[in-house]
Amino acid sequence: SAVISQKPSRDICQRGTSLTIQCQVDSQVTMMFWYRQQPGQSLTLIATANQGSEATYESGFVIDKFPISRPNLTFSTLTVSNMSPEDSSIYLCSVGQGVETQYFGPGTRLLVL
């Protein structure tokens, strides 16, 4: 399985600011995914980031709020824009060739005050 790292591992931010989360993989992968894990809730897919094309967002998530970059086959960023306390969550990136073999990074723990 791929080795995935995320930066930062945690952060505390003020409302109205933005945070960019980085995801780095140790091998080239076609598909990268960004998930959110809110307290007491299921992991929820935010968007799929494909290299060379725009990200595909799930229902309830928009590009203005969660812009994503995918400059190459080993790296992606997710920005959480204009944050509010409701954005406090764990954000995870994952990679996989198919739905049955997705591997997750360690997550970024975000607290918005």
Partner 1 sequence: QKEVEQDPGPLSVPEGAIVSLNCTYSNSAFQYFMWYRQYSRKGPELLMYTYSSGNKEDGRFTAQVDKSSKYISLFIRDSQPSDSATYLCAMGYYGNNRLAFGKGNQVVVIP
Sites of contact with partner 1 (CB under 8 A): 1, 4, 31, 33, 40-45, 48, 58, 92, 94, 96, 98-107, 109
Phi-psi region of 107 (alpha: psi -120 to 50; beta: other; left: phi over 0): left
For residue 45, the tally of other CB atoms under 10 A from its CB is 16
Q: Are 105 and 82 in contact (CB under 8 A)?
A: no
User: Smallest distance, Å, CB 9 to partner 1?
Assistant: 9
SS3 85: helix
* Shortest separation between residue 105's beta carbon and partner 1, angstroms: 5
Q: Report the nearest approach of partner 1 to the CB of residue 33 (Å).
A: 7
Q: Which lies closer to partner 1 via its Cβ, residue 14 or residue 52?
A: 52
Please report where in the chains the tokens 């005050």 appear, as a residue. 113
Nearer to partner 1, 67 or 96 (CB): 96
